Chain A
């Protein structure tokens, strides 16, 4: 099956810093989503981005499908950005396959 690897596993930032999270996947996919999981467990949709580049405020994402990776950029980080960021890819049958996540801690 498709393998999803996220890096780094942990990231500690000072408020105001920028960061890049990476997601590598092992096969072609027809869906790629980035999520932020808050401390209560809710998965919040950040981007649906099987290819191309999107921006939403301080967050942006790029997926290069031909090279099987995606990047999530967080600029001017805030303490509320803390949590776990998941990349998930979809196979041909419609299920999502998640990476192990990147745990982000933003210090004031």
Chain B
């Protein structure tokens, strides 16, 4: 049973550029959440997708957007990158019922120079 997968593993971008990160959920899961983890901090919730729609959003600007595909996989897009966007981006999947256990992927480490 494959767990949550993310790609790419590492990414280096320049300020002002745009980036797309990808996530495939655990088998049997249909809900995908994205988190940002800055160095030395706990992960912060960005948004959650269910049935191809954004179901909930954390305190992140509109530069952060996402998409969920019919096969439940998801993308996170960040436009106009800032140095402060450098972080580990984590994807989590869970069954649709709110409150169910979430499983995390290995993350994508984004560096903005």
Contacts and interface: CB of A to CB of B under 8 A. Distances in A.
Given A41-B88, A99-B42, A101-B42, A94 B99 contact: yes
Interface residues of A, number: 24
B25 interface: no
B107 A96 contact: no
B101 interface: yes
A100 B99 contact: no
B4 to A, nearest CB: 10
Given A40-B106, A41-B109, A48 B101 contact: yes
Contacts of B68: none
B66 to A, nearest CB: 14
Interface string A24-52: 00000011010100001111010010100
Contacts of A99: 42
A78 B87 CA distance: 29
Interface in B86-105: 88, 90, 92, 94, 98-104
Chain B interface size, as a band, is 20 to 34
A95 B45 contact: yes
A70 to B, nearest CB: 15
Contacts of B74: none
Contacts of A31: 99-102
Interface of A: 30-31, 33, 35, 40-43, 45, 48, 50, 86, 88, 90, 92-101
24 contacts: A31-B100, A41-B88, A42-B104, A42-B107, A43-B90, A45-B103, A48-B101, A86-B42, A88-B43, A90-B98, A90-B99, A92-B98, A94-B55, A94-B99, A95-B33, A95-B48, A95-B58, A96-B92, A96-B102, A98-B42, A98-B43, A98-B44, A100-B41, A101-B42
